[in-house]
Amino acid sequence: MPQMNMQQMMKQARKMQEQLAAAQDKLKDVEVSASTGGGMVKVVATGEMQIKSIEISPDACDPEDVEMLQDMVLAAVNDALSSAQEAANTQMSAAAGLGNMNIPGLF
């Protein structure tokens, strides 16, 4: 079995690094959204795991039930961040040439 020469390995490693850096750079343009309470609370997050916006419908602001609003905001934020993480994993896996492989802890 022929051995891969060191120069070829280094070239492939540099190429993968460049692809991963480009994929990471693209993540700032990725946006995901989530909503709860039938759309009363909407959250938009970026692929960099930053919350970009939170919209709360006036109908969600019941002074008698602030806990429900808090729960809806929390659920929407968590859903948006989960979607952002999934989008980031997909982007980084594609850049690394891993396709649809899901390797826990890799990204």
Note the pLDDT tens digit of each residue in 42-62.
Answer: 999 988 888 999 999 998 888
The answer to whether domain 20-92 has CATH 3.40.50.970 is: no
φ/ψ of residue 68, rounded to 5: -65, -45
Instruction: Choose the weakest-confidence range: 3-7, 11-15, 28-32.
Output: 3-7
Structure tokens at 83: 């979607």
- As a dihedral over the C-alpha atoms of residue 38, residue 41, residue 46, residue 48, rounded to 10 degrees, the angle is -110
- Counting every residue written for the chain, the total comes to 107
Residues 30, 46 contacting (CB under 8 angstroms) = yes
Mean pLDDT of the chain: 83
Bigger pLDDT: 77 vs 93: 77
Amino acid occupying residue 68: M
Name the pLDDT band for 3 (thresholds 50, 70, 90). low
β-sheet bridge partners, residue 42 = 35, 55
pLDDT at 105: 57
Average pLDDT, stretch 24-38?
Answer: 87
What tokens appear for 38 in the block? 């039938």
Give the model's confidence band at 29: pLDDT under 50 very low, under 70 low, under 90 confident, else very high: confident
Q: Where are the beta strands (DSSP E) in the chain?
A: 31-36, 41-46, 51-56
For the chain, the structural domain boundaries read 20-92
